[in-house]
Amino acid sequence: MSSRERILGRVRRALADVPDTPRDEPPYEEAVPRDYLREHGQRSVAETVDLLAENLADYRAIVHRTTTEELPYLIMRLLAERGPQYVLVPPGLPPEWMSAADPTRVHDRAVSTPHELDKVESVVTGCALAIAETGTLVLDGSPDQGRRRITLVPDHHICVVRVPEQVVSSVPQALERLDPTRPLTWISGPSATSDIELDRVEGVHGPRTLEVVLVGPDGS
C-alpha cells in the first residue's frame, strides 16, 4: 500500500460518520452574502483608468499611454532602451505589436528550460484584466499571455492593457469576468521583497522592471 492510499484511507474513515449535506441547505451561492461594496465610489471610465495608472505607478510600475497606431513604435523604443538581443513572446501575441521591434523573438515553448528563459531579458504580453482600485494586472494564460513562467523568469516585462475594455474598478468586478479554471497570475508592480530591516530588493520572484502600456483609441 502506498503512502497516498494510506492517507486517503484515513480520510475516508474519518468522514465515515459525517452525514451528507441536508437537502434543504441553501446552495453556496445563496448561503454566502454578497452585499459588500462592488466598488468604492462612482467614477467615469476616464477616472477609472487614471486611478489604475496612479496605483500602478505607486507600486513602482512604469506606466505609458499610447494609441493603437503608436503601440508598435512604443514597444520598439522600450525594448531599444533595454538593449536586449532576445525578447520572449507568447504564441498569440498580435503580430502588429512587434512589427517595429528589432530584437530576435524567442517563442514560448513547453520544452524551454528555466535556464534558457533566463537568457532572455524581456518579455511582451497582453493581459486578461487590470484592476484600478488595487493597481493589479491579471494574466490567465491566454495565447497573448503565454505560460505563467515566461512572465516570472525574464527581468523585464512589458504588459499591454487595452483601454477601456480590459479595465475594471474592483476585485469583485474582476472575479465576475475571470474564469476560475484558468491559471491566474495576479501582478501588483515589479517583483520585490524586503528583510527585517525593510531593505527593499527587487527582481527576486519575478521581473525587476514592469512596464505597463495602456493603449486606447486616442491614448488619453
- Domain of 86 in residue numbering reads as 42-216
Q: What is the pLDDT of residue 220?
A: 60
The CATH number of whichever domain residue 200 belongs to comes to 3.40.50.10420
Q: What is the pLDDT of residue 191?
A: 75
187 falls within a domain: yes
Q: Residue 159: which of 180, 132, 187 has the closest Cα?
A: 187
Rounded (10°) CA dihedral 65, 66, 71, 76: -60
Cis peptide before 164 (omega within 30 of 0): yes
Which segments of the chain does DSSP mark as H helices, in order? 3-14, 28-31, 45-58, 71-82, 114-118, 171-177
Q: What is the pLDDT of residue 115?
A: 83
123 falls within a domain: yes
Q: How far apart are CA 212 and CA 186, in angstroms?
A: 14
16 falls within a domain: no
Q: How many domains are there within the chain?
A: 1
Intervals of the chain under pLDDT 70: 18-24, 28, 203-204, 219-220
Query: 182-214: per-residue pLDDT in tens?
Result: 999 999 988 777 777 777 777 667 789 999 999
20 falls within a domain: no
Q: How far apart are CA 141 and CA 154, in angstroms?
A: 16
User: Ramachandran region of residue 94, left (φ > 0), alpha (ψ -120 to 50) or beta?
Assistant: beta
11 falls within a domain: no
25 falls within a domain: no
Q: How far apart are CA 52 and CA 23, in angstroms?
A: 44
19 falls within a domain: no
Q: What is the pLDDT of residue 26?
A: 76
Work out the burial of residue 89: count CB atoms within 10 Å of its CB; fewer than 13 is exposed, 13-18 middle, 19 or more buried: buried
28 falls within a domain: no
